[in-house]
Structure 1
Amino acid sequence: MTSAEKNYAQIEKELLGLGFACEKFHEYVYGATVIGETDHKPLVSLHKKNLFDLMPRLQRMMLRLRRYDLKLEFKPGKYLLVADTLSRAFDRSVKKINTEEEIKAHVDMIRQNAQVSDPMWEKVATHTKDD
């Protein structure tokens, strides 16, 4: 979000976020009917308004959304579980994974379960070292 966009009114920020999401996932939402859930009730009524009744900035934002078949539904924030979960801070107390140990464990698992002879494993190891 640019410094100018940080000064937008809340409804403009909500509409900006909706536009960003549609453009980010364009390949998935273009041509399909998409139902968007929002906890910002004014956005639902704004979406239903005539384009000419809106302020110029909102008109531009709405024009970007016109190419999508978008249906907006109001859902109170306490029922938007996915959005609420994604907005939570990352738990930094989680231990870092030792990547080298994980790789060795994965290789050992593959080696135990794969039907490959020992000479073939040696050949693979030799060629891997050459890479």
Structure 2
Amino acid sequence: MSKNLDDLTPRLQRFQMRLMRYRYDVIYSPGKKLAVPDTLSRSPLENSFPKYDELRSEVDSYVNTIVKYLPVKDNFLKEIMDNQVKDPIIQKIKEYSLIAN
């Protein structure tokens, strides 16, 4: 059974968006049968974290998908973008984001 994307928390939305590119089945296994995988998941390797480019690609993909399925008209999206350019808080966030790159 699958929930709508809108019914999930933001964290679960991101997780589901990452998994959308795969075909998978979820099968319950009791914890006592997961000794090795459970141990490995609790001790991540330093190099197992996504690189900046990979993370950026995932974020861009996520944003594009959300925008694609938003139930709004293009002119309303343009209005939002225009107002974001005028918003001082958004501009400060953009400035700090560009500094981090």
Q: Report if TM-score (shorter chain) is over 0.5.
A: no
In terms of fraction of residues, the more strand-rich structure is 1
Specify the structure having the higher radius of gyration (Cα): 1
Task: Kindly indicate whether structure 1 or structure 2 has the higher relative contact order, using CA contacts under 8 Å at least 6 residues apart.
Answer: 1
Q: TM-score, normalised by structure 1?
A: 0.30
Normalised by the length of structure 2, the TM-score is 0.37
Larger helix proportion of the pair: 2
